[in-house]
Amino acid sequence: MDDDGLIMNFAPSSGRLRVKKNIQRKERKLAAFVSAGGRRTSDVREKQSDRPVGTATPATKVMHGKPQVISSLFSYNPEIRKKDPAVKDATKKKSLSAPSNAPVSDTTTFQGIGIDSDLVAHMTDKLGAQKPTQIQRRAIPILLGPSRRQVVIDDIEVPDEDVDAVVQAETGSGKTLTYLLPIVNRLILSSTTDASSTNASSTSAKRSVGTLAIVLTPTRELAQQVLGVLQTLLSLPPCGTTGRRRSHWIVPGVVIGGDKKKSEKARLRKGVNVLVSTPGRLLDHLQNTKSFEIENLRWLVLDEADRLLDLGFEETLRSIVTILDERTAGRGRGTRHEDSDLWPGTRQTVLCSATLREDVRRLAGTSLRNPVFIRGQGEEGVASVKRLHDRSDTAGKKGREDVNAMDVDDAPEAKFSTPNQLKQTYVLTPAKLRLVALAAMLRSCFVTRQSGMESKRKRWAGDSYEEEEDGENEEDEGEEESPEHRVLREVLKAQKDEPTAQNSNGKKVDQPDAQLPPKPFAIGTVLPDVPLYRLHGELAQSIRTQVYLDFRKAATGVLFCTDVAARGLDLPDVTRIIQYDAPADLKDYVHRVGRTARLGRQGQATLFLLPSEMEYLDVLKAQELKPEPVKVESVLMGLVSEANGKDFQTPATELQNTFERYVLADEKKRDEEKDGGKGGKAPKKRKLDPSAEFAIGDLSKMVGPTTRKKTRK
Ligand SMILES: Nc1ncnc2c1ncn2[C@@H]1O[C@H](COP(=O)(O)OP(=O)(O)OP(=O)(O)O)[C@@H](O)[C@H]1O
C-alpha cells in the first residue's frame, strides 16, 4: 500500500459498553448517549436539544404507502460553533514533534544489544531493520537474560537472571521484534556449532522437543502476522558468515480458531517449537490434543495483553496458565537432554501492549513472577525499566499469589501515549451530515491527490524515510512475495480446504460460495477507482485472511473495519485513520489511531463526534490526547467540484438523497423478494439501521458487489 491507504473504524456495539474505572463518570455519560441510540440517521435520531427551539424534524413523508425521506441537511442543525470551544482555535496549527516510535538515531546497533551477527544481517536483509527502536534497545538485553554476550548498554540496569517482563511501548514501535528476537536468538544460538570447536551451549534438541515458546494474540489476523515475522527470522541460512553451522530443527506454527483443527493436531504431534495462537484454540488443544507436548515450554508471550484480559478472554487465559503451570511443574534445568543453558530455566512470561496500565496489575498476579516493567517512551532508560517489586522470586503458584498481593501499587502509572508525529483531528458533525461528511473526507483523500495536489508519497528506506515523487519507485509489479505473505497464503489455503469454519464467537459458519476472495469495489463517482475492503468478525475466516492480505498488498484503497483490525495489525503505509464512531474504551482509541504513523512514519487520524458527544474530548484531554478541530464545512468541501464553486450544500444534499433513495429502493426490493409476489406473510419492515453497516452497505451497494457472508439458515 502506498500513502493512499486508509482505515475506517466502526465501533462494534459491545465495545461501547466498556467503561474505564478511572474515567468512570465521563465515560458513563458517553456510554449513555451512545447506547441511547442517539445516532446516526439524518432524521429521527437528532437530539431535540440539538435543534433550535420550535423547529420540526426534517421531513419524512409517506407517499404511496412508503416512507420517502427528504433530506434537509443544512437546516435544523445544532449550532456547532457555539458548542465547540475549540473551533475558534482551529486556525492555530500545532506543530508535531519528532517521531517517537522510530529507530534510535544514536550509535546503538542490534549487535550491540546482544543479537547474533548472522541474525542481524538476515534481519537487515529481510526486514530492513538496521537500528533498534527505543523499546527494542531497552527490552532486548533484558529478555536475552544470561544468554546475552557483549551487551553495551550503559543506562539500563540489566538483571543477571531471566525475569518476567511487562513491555509497554507506543503502537508501531516494533514490539513484535522486541519479544521475538530474544527467543529466536536464544534458540538459534543453541543450535549453532562453531566451525573450529563444539559450542558448549549447543543442544541436541530436535523438533520433537515440543513447544518451547507460545505467543498468544487476541485476533487471528495478528497471529498470522506474528507467524509471518517469525518465519522470516527463522529462515536464516544454515551457514553463517563466520563458518558456524546451525542445525535446522526449529519449526514455527500457528493454531487459530477458524482454521482446520485436524491438520493443526497433526502439526502439533510432529512438533511446533514456536507456536502462535489465539487463546480459545490454544486452550482447546491443551485440553484435547494429547500429543501436544508443552513440558519443555520456556516462553509465554501475551501480545496485546490488556486485550487478552478483556471479558471473554480472561477466564480462558487463567485456564491456559493453570494448565501450563501443572504440566511444566517440577521441571528443572538439565532434567532433559534437550535442555540448553541458553534458554530460561523456567518459563519466562512477557506481556506486551501499547496500553498496559492497571490491567497489568491483575494479570501480573496470575501469570508473572517478579516482573520488570519496560517502557519505550520517556527519556530515562533506567527509570523506564522498573522492577515491579524487588523481592527475589519464589517459583510456583504460591509465589505468584504473593506477587499478586504485594505488587499492585508498584506498577508505574502512565497516560496513554500515541506517536508524537501522529496528527490527530476531530470533526464535530450533526448526525445527519455524518455519512456525507465521511464520503467527502474520503473523496478529498483521493481525488485531490489524483488531480496532483498531493503528489508526494513516503516509503521505508533502511533507517530513514525518503520522500519520493510519484512515478519514482512505483510498487514493483510482479515483486517477489514476502515470507509473511507466503505464510499467510498457506494459512489461507488450509482454511479454504476446511468445509466449515468458526466465526469470532466460535460458532460454526458456512464457507459458502460467496467465500471466494472478495473483489474490492469502488464508490462510483464519489471515489472513482478506489478499491474498498471490509474486515469484521462476521466474515468467514478465509475471507478475513484474504481481505487482510489484499489490503496489505494493494497500492491504494480504503479498509472499512471494526475493532477486529484495531490491534496489532501492521499495515505499514496506511496514512489516515477515520473513526466514524468514538470507541467507549480509550485503549481502543489508542490502538485504532496506531494503525498509522508507524515506526516513525507520518500519519493522520480523524475522529467523528456528534455535538452530544463533546465530552469525549475531555476524556481524551485527561490523557493528554488533544485532537485539533476540523470544521464539518471544510470537510464537506471535499465534495465540491470546480463547477460548484464553494457550494458544498448542493453536492452534499444530492449525495445524501442518493443514499436515501438507495435505501428505500433496496427495502422495496427486499420486501418483494420475501413476499414472492404471492400475497404471503407480510414481510418484516427493515429498520433503517444507522450503524456502520448501514453506511458501508449504502456505499458499497451503490457501486458493486459486497463481501458479506451468507448467514446459515
Ligand atoms: N528496528 C526496526 N527497524 C525497522 N523496522 C522495524 C524495526 N522494528 C520493527 N520494525 C517494523 O516496524 C513495523 C511495526 O512493528 P510492530 O508491528 O512490531 O509494532 P508494534 O509496536 O507491535 O505495534 P502495535 O502496538 O500496533 O502492535 C513492522 O513492519 C516491523 O517489521
For residue 175, how far is its CA from the centre of ligand 1 (angstroms)? 6
Q: What does the alpha-carbon distance between residue 358 and residue 273 come to, in Å, rounded to a whole number?
A: 32
> Residue 160's pLDDT is what?
78
> Residue 457's pLDDT is what?
32
Nearest Cα residue to atom 2 of ligand 1: 129
Task: Give the residue, 123 or 41, on which the prediction is more confident.
Answer: 123
541 pLDDT band, cuts 50/70/90, is confident
Strands 521-523 and 527-535 turn out to be antiparallel
For residue 174, how far is its CA from the centre of ligand 1 (angstroms)? 3
For residue 569, how far is its CA from the centre of ligand 1 (angstroms)? 10
For residue 386, how far is its CA from the centre of ligand 1 (angstroms)? 23
Mean of pLDDT values over 106-124: 92
Task: Give the residue, 659 or 642, on which the prediction is more confident.
Answer: 659
The pLDDT mean for the chain works out to 71
Helical packing angle, 175-190 and 220-234, nearest 10°: 40
pLDDT digits (tens, 9 = 90+) for 286-325: 999 999 999 999 999 999 998 887 767 888 998 999 999 9
- Which of 98, 127, 7 shows the shortest CA–CA distance to 601? 98
Coil, strand, or helix at residue 192?
strand
608 pLDDT band, cuts 50/70/90, is very high
33 pLDDT band, cuts 50/70/90, is very low
Atom of ligand 1 nearest to the CA of 136: 1
Q: Looking at residue 704, what DSSP letter applies?
A: S
Mean of pLDDT values over 246-263: 84
**For a pocket test of ligand 1, which of 111, 119, 127 has the largest count of ligand atoms closer than 8 A to its C-beta?**
127
Mean of pLDDT values over 595-602: 94
> Which pTM does this prediction carry?
0.75
Compute how many other C-beta atoms are within 10 angstroms of the C-beta atom of residue 7: 27
Nearest Cα residue to atom 4 of ligand 1: 129
pLDDT digits (tens, 9 = 90+) for 149-207: 655 566 667 777 899 999 999 999 999 999 999 999 999 988 877 655 545 455 566 78
Q: Flag the least confident range among 92-96, 288-292, 381-385, 637-641.
A: 381-385
> Residue 152's pLDDT is what?
56
pLDDT digits (tens, 9 = 90+) for 421-458: 999 999 999 999 999 999 999 988 887 644 533 323 32
Q: Is the pLDDT of residue 225 over 50?
A: yes
Atom of ligand 1 nearest to the CA of 103: 1
Q: Is the pLDDT of residue 619 over 80?
A: yes
Atom of ligand 1 nearest to the CA of 572: 29
> Residue 669's pLDDT is what?
57
Cβ 38 vs Cβ 45: under 8 Å: yes
Q: Flag the least confident range among 297-301, 359-363, 521-525, 635-639.
A: 521-525
For residue 241, how far is its CA from the centre of ligand 1 (angstroms)? 26
> Residue 592's pLDDT is what?
96
Specify the amino acid at residue 27: E
For residue 563, how far is its CA from the centre of ligand 1 (angstroms)? 20
**For a pocket test of ligand 1, which of 167, 168, 176 has the largest count of ligand atoms closer than 8 A to its C-beta?**
176
Mean of pLDDT values over 522-534: 74
Cβ 188 vs Cβ 213: under 8 Å: no
482 pLDDT band, cuts 50/70/90, is low
Compute how many other C-beta atoms are within 10 angstroms of the C-beta atom of residue 625: 20
Compute how many other C-beta atoms are within 10 angstroms of the C-beta atom of residue 278: 25
Nearest Cα residue to atom 15 of ligand 1: 174
For residue 683, how far is its CA from the centre of ligand 1 (angstroms)? 51
Q: What does the alpha-carbon distance between residue 387 and residue 369 come to, in Å, rounded to a whole number?
A: 11
Domain boundaries, the chain: 111-192+206-332+339-375, 422-447+458-464+518-673+691-702
> Residue 438's pLDDT is what?
94
- Which of 594, 2, 549 shows the shortest CA–CA distance to 225? 549
List the end-to-end C-alpha distance of the chain, in Å, as a whole number.
38
Specify the amino acid at residue 93: K
Q: Looking at residue 273, what DSSP letter applies?
A: S
Q: What does the alpha-carbon distance between residue 699 and residue 683 come to, in Å, rounded to a whole number?
A: 25
Per DSSP, the residues of 448-459 read: HHHTTS--EEEE
**For a pocket test of ligand 1, which of 126, 599, 601 has the largest count of ligand atoms closer than 8 A to its C-beta?**
599
Q: Looking at residue 564, what DSSP letter applies?
A: G
For residue 672, how far is its CA from the centre of ligand 1 (angstroms)? 51
- Which of 143, 105, 109, 138 shows the shortest CA–CA distance to 124? 109
- Which of 294, 297, 346 shows the shortest CA–CA distance to 146? 346
For residue 418, how far is its CA from the centre of ligand 1 (angstroms)? 15
pLDDT digits (tens, 9 = 90+) for 506-520: 344 333 333 444 444
Atom of ligand 1 nearest to the CA of 173: 21
365 pLDDT band, cuts 50/70/90, is low
Nearest Cα residue to atom 11 of ligand 1: 174
For residue 664, how far is its CA from the centre of ligand 1 (angstroms)? 46
Nearest Cα residue to atom 9 of ligand 1: 174
Q: Is the pLDDT of residue 459 over 60?
A: no
> Residue 242's pLDDT is what?
64
Pocket of ligand 1 (CB under 6 A): 103, 127-129, 131-133, 136, 169, 171-177, 354, 568, 570, 572, 594, 598-599
Per DSSP, the residues of 227-271 read: HHHHHHHHT--SB-TTS-EE-----EEEE-TTS-HHHHHHHHHH-
Q: Does the ipTM exceed 0.85?
A: yes
Q: What percent of the chain has pLDDT over 70?
A: 57
For residue 9, how far is its CA from the centre of ligand 1 (angstroms)? 21
The alpha carbon of residue 55 and the mean position of all alpha carbons in its chain are separated, in whole angstroms, by: 44
CATH domain 422-447+458-464+518-673+691-702 topology: Rossmann fold (3.40.50)
Mean of pLDDT values over 262-291: 94
Q: What does the alpha-carbon distance between residue 710 and residue 643 come to, in Å, rounded to a whole number?
A: 43
> Residue 703's pLDDT is what?
30
> Residue 368's pLDDT is what?
81
Q: What does the alpha-carbon distance between residue 564 and residue 537 come to, in Å, rounded to a whole number?
A: 6
Task: Give the residue, 492 or 626, on which the prediction is more confident.
Answer: 626
Nearest Cα residue to atom 17 of ligand 1: 570
Place of cell 481481505: 547
Atom of ligand 1 nearest to the CA of 169: 21
Q: Which cell is 293 given?
A: 507436548
The matching CATH number, chosen from 3.40.50.300, 1.10.287.3510, 3.30.465.10, 2.60.120.10, for 111-192+206-332+339-375 is 3.40.50.300
Cβ 563 vs Cβ 590: under 8 Å: no
Cβ 274 vs Cβ 250: under 8 Å: yes
Nearest Cα residue to atom 1 of ligand 1: 132
Q: Is the pLDDT of residue 497 over 60?
A: no
> Residue 452's pLDDT is what?
36
Cβ 578 vs Cβ 7: under 8 Å: yes
Q: What does the alpha-carbon distance between residue 606 and residue 614 come to, in Å, rounded to a whole number?
A: 15
Mean of pLDDT values over 623-645: 88
Q: What does the alpha-carbon distance between residue 172 and residue 100 come to, in Å, rounded to a whole number?
A: 10
Residues 6+ apart with CB under 8 A from 449: 4, 455
For residue 179, how far is its CA from the centre of ligand 1 (angstroms)? 11
Q: 608: left (phi > 0), else alpha (psi -120 to 50), else beta?
A: beta
- Which of 397, 406, 386, 402 shows the shortest CA–CA distance to 159? 386
Cβ 597 vs Cβ 172: under 8 Å: yes
Q: Is the pLDDT of residue 672 over 60?
A: no
Atom of ligand 1 nearest to the CA of 591: 26
Strands 165-168 and 372-375 turn out to be parallel
**For a pocket test of ligand 1, which of 181, 570, 590, 601 has the largest count of ligand atoms closer than 8 A to its C-beta?**
570
Q: Is the pLDDT of residue 597 over 70?
A: yes
- Which of 127, 144, 151, 128 shows the shortest CA–CA distance to 189? 144
